[in-house]
């Protein structure tokens, strides 16, 4: 396989803030790599280092076999989080403008159709809906038919239909061999699009793998959520681990308990248990662990480690850190 994007031990600090702490990743040709992690984890800094907008303090970044700043711009597409084109350009003028920057641009009509804006091509950017605006931005970075695409939160603020349009677009591009690195806070998006996912915490990739691998390793067990006011103690004779749900069910505002490790075929056993003991319940939901469970488990671990190492510091060190924070 050909490595198209490579970060090796990238480091970047801003004053006292460590944005990247030896972050490493490799993305192969045609892969979609999803970068997830809490706010402030370093995702944007990593994307900026890989696209030549930020110079790392140490480590190396390579894209298409060269320094990011030296990559042939005809081969690169970058959608920053805060990309904001002029308000008074129509969608078509915007795409035309970007097409004009390249010798060998795609047909703007094809691009407008690909991002679902063929019917809104004469609308000023400022009058497009939020979702249409983001799709126009995505379109404008596709005009050069790039080999590598960096998308920083491509679907944030977009309605579900617009999000689907962008997902399909990314899937089609990857199928044609485009390498994609995307950051997202949407775990369903990462799970749906990414061949591999990297979780960034405190400037480091703390876990990476396919969504399936990550879920199998870090996702924990299945959850059968029972909406009931009964206490978890009432389930003591059930042969599965039972805990109280941390939050009330949003839809019904009822208390719930979570039964772990139940397979779908075993749900009947739990229902029989409830019936036999006259335990009242208003709903049952079964779910496999997913990427959100992975995210919560690993981000919690990182947070705990940070708190523990802060607690481990000597009083002098803690005072110094406090003064500089
Ligand atoms: P993310 O994209 O995961 O939210 P960022 O890469 O934006 O994380 O930020 C990582 C850390 O670096 C944050 O603490 C942020 O405040 C800091 N940071 C990022 N860019 C700058 C900058 N230009 N100047 C100062 N601090 C910055």
- Number of other residues whose CB lies within 10 A of the CB of residue 239: 11
Number of domains in the chain: 2
Task: For residues 17 and 66, state if they share a domain.
Answer: yes
pLDDT at 296: 86
Per this entry, what is the length of the chain? 325
Q: What CATH number did the domain enclosing 210 receive?
A: 3.40.50.300
| Residue 315 belongs to some domain of the structure | no
Looking at the predicted structure, is the pLDDT value of residue 72 above 90?
A: yes
pLDDT-above-90 percentage for the chain: 74
55 C-alpha to ligand 1 centroid (Å): 14
pLDDT at 250: 54
Q: What CATH number did the domain enclosing 277 receive?
A: 3.30.70
Q: What is the DSSP letter of 144?
A: T
Which atom in ligand 1 lies closest to the alpha carbon of residue 48? 6
pLDDT category at 165 given cuts 50, 70, 90 is confident
Question: How far is 188 from 290, CA to CA, in rounded Å?
Answer: 9
Average pLDDT over residues 2-23: 96
Average pLDDT over residues 237-258: 78
Count Cβ atoms within 10 A of the Cβ of residue 284 and give its class: 0-12 exposed, 13-18 middle, 19 or more buried.
middle
pLDDT category at 118 given cuts 50, 70, 90 is very high
Task: For residues 202 and 238, state if they share a domain.
Answer: no
Give Cα 18 distance to the centre of its chain: 21
When mean pLDDT is compared across 98-107, 204-213, 229-238, 253-262, the lowest value belongs to: 253-262
Assigned token pair, 139: 């379109």
Average pLDDT over residues 154-181: 90
Average pLDDT over residues 131-149: 93
| Residue 316 belongs to some domain of the structure | no
203 C-alpha to ligand 1 centroid (Å): 10
45 C-alpha to ligand 1 centroid (Å): 6
- pTM confidence score: 0.84
Question: How far is 195 from 149, CA to CA, in rounded Å?
Answer: 15
Task: For residues 234 and 189, state if they share a domain.
Answer: no
Range of the domain at 242: 221-287
At CA 235, angle to CA 291 and CA 290, rounded to 5? 5
The average confidence (pLDDT) of the chain is 89
pLDDT at 249: 54
Task: For residues 14 and 159, state if they share a domain.
Answer: yes
pLDDT category at 91 given cuts 50, 70, 90 is very high
Question: Which of 7, 12, 19 to probe ligand 1 with, by most ligand atoms within 8 A of CB?
Answer: 19
Average pLDDT over residues 68-73: 94
Looking at the predicted structure, is the pLDDT value of residue 224 above 80?
A: yes
Domain limit, last residue, from 175, 194, 216: 216
**Is residue 14 within 8 Å of residue 25, measured between CB atoms?**
no
Task: For residues 108 and 180, state if they share a domain.
Answer: yes
């Amino acid at each position: 396989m050909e490595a198209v994007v490579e970060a090796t031990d990238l480091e970047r600090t801003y004053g006292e803030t460590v944005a990247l702490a030896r972050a490493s990743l490799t993305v192969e040709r045609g892969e979609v790599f999803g970068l997830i992690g809490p706010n402030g984890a370093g995702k944007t800094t990593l994307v900026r280092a890989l696209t030549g907008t930020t110079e790392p303090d140490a480590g190396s970044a390579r894209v298409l076999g060269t320094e990011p700043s030296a990559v042939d711009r005809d081969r690169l597409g970058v959608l920053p989080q805060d990309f904001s084109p002029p308000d008074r350009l129509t969608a078509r003028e915007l795409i035309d403008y970007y097409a004009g920057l390249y010798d060998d641009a795609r047909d703007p009509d094809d691009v407008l159709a690909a991002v679902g804006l063929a019917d809104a091509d004469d609308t000023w950017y400022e009058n497009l809906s939020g979702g249409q605006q983001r799709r126009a931005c995505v379109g404008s970075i596709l005009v050069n038919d790039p080999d590598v695409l960096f998308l920083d939160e491509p679907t944030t603020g977009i309605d579900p239909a617009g999000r689907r349009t962008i997902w399909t677009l990314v899937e089609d591009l990857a199928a044609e061999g485009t390498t994609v690195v995307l950051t997202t806070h949407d775990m369903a998006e990462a799970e749906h699009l990414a061949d591999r996912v990297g979780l960034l915490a405190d400037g480091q990739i703390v876990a990476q793998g396919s969504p399936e691998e990550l879920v199998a390793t870090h996702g924990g067990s299945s959850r059968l959520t029972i909406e009931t006011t009964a206490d978890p103690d009432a389930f003591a004779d059930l042969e599965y681990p039972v805990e109280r749900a941390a939050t009330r069910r949003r839809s019904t505002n009822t208390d719930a308990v979570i039964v772990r490790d139940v397979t779908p075929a075993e749900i009947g056993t739990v229902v029989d248990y409830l019936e036999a003991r006259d335990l009242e319940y208003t709903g049952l939901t079964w779910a496999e662990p997913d990427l959100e469970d992975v995210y919560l488990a690993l981000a919690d671990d990182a947070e705990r480690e940070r708190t523990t190492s802060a607690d481990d510091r000597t009083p002098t060190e803690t005072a110094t850190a406090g003064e500089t924070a």
